[in-house]
Chains A and B, each alone.
Chain A
Amino acid sequence: MKRTLHFCRYRLSPKLVLALFMALFATGHAQSTESLFSFTWKQVAIGDVFEQIEQRADIRFSYNPLELDVNQPITLQVRNAKLDELLDKLAQQLAFRYRLRGEMVIIQLDGQSGTAHQQLLNGQVRNSRGQPLEGVTVINMKLNSSTISNGNGNFSINAQVGDELRFRMMGYTTQTVSVTDVAAPLQIALDDAMIELDETVVTALGITREERSLGYAVSEVEGAELKKVREPNVINSLAGRVAGLVINSTAGGPAGSSRVIIRGATTITGNNQPLYVVDGIPMDNSNYGQVDGGKFAAGYDLGDAISALNPDDIAKVSVLKGPSASALYGSRAANGVILITTKRGGTNKELGIELNSTMTFENQLTTFDGYQTLYGQGRNQNLVNDVDQARTSLFSNFGPRLDPDLMIPYFDGQLRPYALAKDNISGFFRTGATYTNSLSLTNATDRSSFRLAVSDLRNQDIVPGSGLRRNSFTFNGTSKFGDKVTVEARAYYLNENVSNRPALADDPGNIGNNFVGLANNVDQAYFKDYYKDAQGTYVDWGGGQYRLNPYWIINEMSNETKKDRLMGALQLNYAITSWMSFQGRLATDLTFLDFEKYTPRTTPGSLAGRLNANHQRYSTTESDVLLSMEKQVSPAWHLSARIGASLSRIRNVGSTMEFLNMTMTDVVSPNSFADKSVIENDYRKHNNSAYVLLSAGYKGFLYADATIRHDASSTLPQGNNSYLYPSLSGSFVFSDAFKIDKSILSFGKLRVSAAEVGNDTDPYQLDLYYALNPLSFMGRSIGNISSTLLPNPNLKPTRTRSFETGLELKFLQDRIGLDVTYYTQRSRDQINRVPIPVSSGFTSQVINAGVIVNKGVEIALNTQPISNEHFHWDLNFNVARNINKVESLAEGVPFLTLSDARWMGVAVVAMPDAPYGSILGYGYQYDPEGNIILNANNLTPVVSEERQLLGQGTFKWTGGLYTSMNYKNFGLTAIVDMKLGADLFSMSNLFAATRGSLTSTLEGREEWIQSEEERLAAGATEDEWLAMGRVRGYVPQGVVQTGTDGQGNPIYTANTRAVDPSLYWSNIYTDGNGIAIPYLYDAGYFKMREITLSYRVPGSLVSQWGIQDLSIAVVSRNPFIIYKSVPNIDPDSNYNNSNGQGLEYGSLPSRRSWGINLNFRF
């Protein structure tokens, strides 16, 4: 007991883990492959021969017992032979071919040996660079026999003229040739595959497994596909590629974060993003800060940790979609896992040099396609008549009809024509540019290999002054110590500088917001030099305190984000016996993030100047051990067991600082400010876990897995803080089991799995805390209860239970592949922050309550419509439908808010019996006949008594189309991303309406102007004119209450009264209530995400310069939008990556990029 306590106090230190490693080293007596063997067998059964060799050489034989008769006796003598010599002799005698893979000797009988008309055909397989390829499977399609190429790429196989030979290897395009001459050696060159259609996949804990054995869906994307057309945040490149993977990025631009959701949201108020695992080790994917979901949300998207990955380092990305696939990663994997395998040194003994260079140019993808161009600046259809009015009506397009012959005063006192300024807003943005260069070196010896890569990314955003520079250095080295021990070390260092991130949402510095509704006769360029006076003081441009002059923002204000990240990992593998191995890993992930934002003196809202700073350190230490046992226990059964344990320690420490009252104005430093406030934060979370994974395979067509995991979390109360959860899965390859004719169905598999995953929460939610105000007041400290969240000392873990079944079919020699998955997920005991009325003193409480259910279907259809020697065409579709429902929330909680819109009382909520992320807002009130009721005084629609469900912010349907064509050396790939079935509340468009910019505000303007002219001519007052019934203008559709009947019921009459459109439109909105329906758009879209046209320069042309391979590509990301239905903005617009999607406010235009990619290999 005492001992246990001692361990409990133990804090994970690298030293201790190292000690464990050392202990293992001490026990290992490495066995040499150079051992020599001597055997004498006389009429010994093959089975016994194999057994003897297995014992002596620590290997095991794998063969099909139906083909090989183990009782067949042999006679053979070898003396001091090496293992391969021994095996060669055996193979010769028994006419089998073998392949030594790790500890396993895979034996394949040459079934056709001795057939008279067959001849042995010899040949060699090389890759496109002329290097011999080892391990290529060579199949004689006619004889259904096969062999494998050796270390020199040589093979020999029985064949005769006319036979089809197929050459297949992972990572290369399968090639089929017809034998024309058996005597001549066959030279085969295999091309690198654009997509690796391999049959093994990387699964949880980094275990590579045969795809056929898995009872759950795994989708993979090759790293090669991500490096040509680059996204500064590599995860965005996955959009449209994987069924059920939904990716959004914010308007924060290239340095912003991404929201990645797999199979819908599983937690109501928690983080729904997946866990990222790099080379088997969970990585920190902290979101470094973003605009929150509150009403006055403002600030910056500081990016996320995943953006640190360099696409050149990525070998493969696997998406484990359901909890079944991720049951072994525990709590953090409840939302799915994205496994990233990085590139290693490989086996190439020559120095491999690869240089990848991309240059792209970015410009605006969306334009203001819904703005009117007929009426210019002014209020009440009146022309601007002095500078004050010019300034205060800068965002009002309710002037008279534009007339270039009229000269009017502008905000700066100049007279200019009252004429349309074309593209008056778009001109602000520049053409952006992104340059990426990366260089990698790989090399290998017999026992070691390494890979070293450096990359440099420079980006200039379309927002002037905004840009990003990122450098990364990657090292990966593997060494074998003896036969048993392999040590791998990885190090990754990243340095990133982001200048002047664009501010988002309600931030006074949000350029996207500040220009909305700019009078269409005013060109933004007029403000270029009109934002400060001779003393450097801010000059108000008419945008007020909440809409600062964009030129002041980009020229005088500044913000800078500096990030340093170091990831290191050490891994040791020890093959204890042929069937048992041990793995130990230790990894650390350390990020230093410094953010500073400077607001100079005289900026409205910060007249005395302000400096905000945030210094944060994120550190995650992960370590695990895994003992694996794997054995072909009988010819039919293959069993494996894995037992593992891991420790995870997260500590994020930092401080948020604010410096006010700038007194030394020439130096931007905390030292220059009189008031200094510092708030420290310290986030600590520890998890201890243990797990067991058992797998069984029967005859290569039936597989079953079972896992069980135990987690303990520091964030839950003692007594409730540990939880156990299981998973079960199975796979049945019925095409093999029933020996279905391969020409009809080449592969058929049914899979099914069920799992449960437990989850914890954030720390410090059990107790009530107090804090001091960061600044003293009149020399005294002041303090308060520091949280708006009512703590709960009785929390328990959240559970997500999932079920998944899928069918995988391949037809026509794999030319058509269909993969269908159906899943359900049910999360209960959710740890939720549910709202409580603020009169309780708190705004929310944390409790276990609530059930959320996701059901869905994912379909992937992969086809090769054309595949011949010169032309290969892949056409892949994927589509996913997720049905999400909040079943219940806590007792007495009608809904909880995920995000509040700044305007109209709109919120994105979780509400029982509605989809997660539904949009709530006010609707119209209707009379008994169904007419809209208008306010009798100002004729604006009367809002409903209560808020109603107006739509949903999450997409119902997502999908993609991926196509690639290869003709000789040319390649063309394209990705279309589709999302349908969500709504978007566009506050940008609401504002464009209230300011008279939208075309929908044109109705009645001409009539009002005429009516007013006639009134003035008649010398009548407005009231007199109304009484005369002469008012014309905008007539809002609806009814007004004109009295009450005998029973006291209201009487409604259709409205015929016209109003000043200017007054009407400026009255349609308020902060807290109003009819949002006209500004709720269908957010669905089809977007062309990516186009690449590539050309591989023939080696003969470039080899003279020592270049082995050169490819050139014209690339584009987001070249155009095929379909959207929301005007002026991109339907992907949002301002954060929180759970409350469906709101948009002041979005910057989205970016399209075009450019060139060059890839050299030396």
Chain B
Amino acid sequence: MSTFNVIQMKKLIYRSVSIVAIVLSMTACTKFDDTNIDPTRSSNLDPSLQLSLVQARFSGDLEINEKLGTVMTMPLVQHLAGIWANRYGQMYIKSLPYLSSFWEYTYQNDILNIVDAVQRTTGVEESTNLNAICRIVKVYMFARLTDLYGDIPYTEAGTAAYTGITRPVYDKQEDIYNDFFSELKAAAAQLDPSKDPVTGDFFYDGNVVAWQKFANSLRLRLAMRLVKRDPAKAQAEAQDAYADGVFESNAEMCIMRHENIQNDYVDIRGNGVSVGINQHEVVPRLSATLINQMRNSNDPRLNHIARYYIDLPYRPFDRVDITDQVRAVVGTVGVNPTDYIWDDWKNPFDIEVPGVGTHTVSNNEQKAQPANFLIRNDAPFFHQTYAEVEFLLAEAAQRFGAGFGDVQTHYQNGVRAALQQLSLFHDGPTFSDTEINNFIQSVPLLPSRELEVINTQLWIALFLNGPEAYANWRRTGYPVLPSPVNGESNSTTTPRRFEYPLSEQEQNGVNYQAAVERLGGTNSWNGRVWWDAE
């Protein structure tokens, strides 16, 4: 009995120990196969899908386009005014996040993906055209950034995943511009209809010839940026771009179309510029500066662009148009640059509105606002228009003379195209030749004021493209804008650049500091980018 017990116990112990040993050997195992590979995501995405993404985001991202447009640049150039969201640009009230959000959102989305797409298509024989288009888009995206901030991370930006560079150096804007010109030239040359068809291109649906023209037109725009800083370079690059072939009609301009969706801050399908305007409780008003300019020049667009509606918070497209009734009483009135919508009090009055009855037109409703067709969720976004190209050529011809053709012709083509481009909007107006010709007569190129006249028309044509209007205004100084400074302003002069984000100051200190030194030691919105010479 006793012996049996001992034997059995030994057996038992042996078995238990061996079971534990087996489990131990199992648990000591350090191989987990693919447990740590995410089964829901890809490791190798088609780069053309990234091209589609950045194209859609450029005008679709609400965060960027609202802060850049409605909050900062559109009020800065006195296109929009009056609502709380406008005050930052309108009255020079500084809010760092509104100056930073464009940088923060662009680098981590658009720059990251376009740099990655260029990287992954470089040297790939079957992606020659895709690579060229990505390079053009990359220049275009970086141009919007550098024009607002000045020196920015460019060559090392967005490369962390394959270079390991986590604190990119700030390139000088001059170097960046030089690279823009060579990239655009090289990319246009690389485009070849016989090579790979490009899918996922929302701008031109893979039409490489159209892309060449856009590359050249963009090069013209960027060349003209340098007129103050480096006129010779500006002239040379503009000349070369013109020679390579730029837009010749509204049919060739670069347009992004959107779906009829009121984006939230995640969705990018609707037009973000539009939503940035139409999602506010009341739609921003038109600045008196814009309205006065158009009214004084008998601009036939005024009646289409500037409308009066019965305010209906958050339901812009359900509003009743009362333009005719209100205009009959007060004419077309905007919001003064120093005012909010509720300032400059206008006494209410009654009107008769079919289907509504008697309506008391409130103070707010007596300030004109952008017409619904302009701010629809599915409004097209004009990246670069034929009108702009013609105005730039007119200016180049005026400044540089021979080689750019006739100033008058380019100017008139520009005005004509600018009026006609409104018909590209859904429900946009079409102007008769008579109306167009009459208007051309009323805005002649005044001797010695040609640049002012041309750039004032360009300023109107760039309505809804705030960053470009702001860049062109800084480049030319036209039109001269009245001061909007009031008791709330943080600056008494017009801000001329966006300040670098705090995150760069804090997390990319060494490179940031070098860039700030080049700005004169202060990261101020009163500083100037390189091309914006005094």
Contacts and interface: CB of A to CB of B under 8 A. Distances in A.
Contacts of B362: 386-388
Interface in B16-51: 16-17, 19-20, 23-33, 35-46, 49-50
A840 interface: yes
A682 B43 contact: no
Interface size class of A (residues with CB under 8 A): 35 or more
B59 interface: no
B147 interface: no
A790 B161 contact: yes
B168 A837 contact: yes
9 contacts: A8-B29, A538-B314, A545-B281, A576-B13, A721-B30, A780-B202, A835-B503, A937-B485, A946-B505
A1035 B468 CA distance: 42
Contacts of B96: 905, 1070-1073
A764 B38 contact: yes
Contacts of B44: 770
Given A540-B314, A840-B168, A1067-B488, A682 B39 contact: yes
B78 to A, nearest CB: 20
A659 to B, nearest CB: 13
A625 B157 CA distance: 52
B26 A645 contact: yes
A667 interface: no
Interface string B263-281: 0110111000000000111
B32 A29 contact: no
Contacts of A28: 12
A576 B16 CA distance: 8
Interface in A600-632: 602, 604-608, 625, 627
A1071 to B, nearest CB: 4
Given A784-B113, A839-B157, A1072-B97, A769 B42 contact: yes
Given A386-B348, A690-B24, A788 B508 contact: no
Interface in A1094-1141: none
B365 to A, nearest CB: 8
Interface in B371-395: none
Contacts of B33: 8-9
- Going nearest first, the 4 A-B pairs with the smallest beta carbon separation are A1072-B96, A770-B45, A540-B313, A841-B112
B513 to A, nearest CB: 12
B262 interface: yes
A27 B12 contact: yes
A851 interface: no
B292 interface: no
Interface stretch (B101-109, B211-219, B245-253, B420-428): B101-109
Interface in A847-868: none
Nearest to B280: A545
B233 interface: no
A1052 interface: no
B506 interface: yes
B35 A5 contact: no
B492 interface: yes
Contacts of B41: 769-771, 786
B476 interface: no
Given A386-B363, A777-B268, A786-B41, A544 B281 contact: yes
Interface stretch (A887-895, A972-980, A994-1002): A887-895
B27 A788 contact: no
Given A645-B20, A782-B53, 19 more contacts: A7-B25, A7-B26, A24-B15, A296-B265, A386-B362, A544-B313, A545-B280, A576-B13, A660-B267, A680-B40, A769-B43, A771-B42, A777-B60, A784-B50, A784-B112, A837-B153, A840-B153, A905-B502, A1071-B97
Given A712-B28, A790-B160, A836-B166, A894 B38 contact: no
A790 B116 CA distance: 13
Interface size class of B (residues with CB under 8 A): 35 or more
A445 interface: no
B26 A892 contact: no
A602 B160 CA distance: 43
Nearest to B4: A29
Contacts of B202: 778, 780
A673 B342 CA distance: 39
Given A938-B490, A946-B505, A1070-B94, A839 B27 contact: no
A784 B507 contact: no
A680 B40 CA distance: 7
B100 A1072 contact: yes
A1116 B102 CA distance: 51
A114 interface: no
A296 B362 CA distance: 34
B167 to A, nearest CB: 6
Contacts of B315: 537, 602, 607
A772 interface: yes
B56 interface: yes
Interface string A961-975: 000000000000000
**Which among B112, B200, B264, B363 has the greatest number of chain A C-beta atoms within 10 A?**
B112
B161 A715 contact: no
A845 B166 contact: yes
Nearest to B32: A714
A335 interface: no
A625 B23 CA distance: 8
Nearest to B522: A945
A1073 B97 CA distance: 8
A782 B45 CA distance: 10
A661 interface: yes
B507 A894 contact: yes
A1153 interface: no
B408 interface: no
A690 B28 contact: yes
Interface string A700-740: 00000000001010110010011000000000000000000
A567 interface: no
A661 B261 contact: yes
A714 B35 CA distance: 6
A388 B364 contact: yes
B13 A841 contact: no
Contact of A838 (B11, B104, B268): B104
A714 B37 CA distance: 10
Contacts of B342: 379, 388-389, 392
A1021 interface: no
A773 B268 CA distance: 10
Nearest to A392: B342
A836 B508 CA distance: 7
Contact of A540 (B16, B29, B161, B281): B281
Contact of A937 (B200, B268, B364, B490): B490
**Which among A540, A712, A784, A894 has the greatest number of chain B C-beta atoms within 10 A?**
A784
Interface string A358-390: 000000000000000000000100000011110
A577 B28 contact: no
A577 B35 contact: no
A894 to B, nearest CB: 6
B159 interface: yes
A688 B26 contact: yes
Given A388-B342, A769-B43, A27 B23 contact: no
Contacts of A4: 25, 29
B52 A777 contact: yes
Nearest to A389: B342
Given A538-B314, A769-B41, A837-B504, A845 B56 contact: no
A718 B31 contact: yes
B298 interface: no
A841 B262 contact: no
A534 interface: no
Contacts of B13: 576-577, 580
A842 B112 contact: yes
Nearest to B41: A769
B508 A837 contact: yes
B489 interface: yes
Given A602-B315, A785-B161, A1072-B100, A839 B42 contact: no
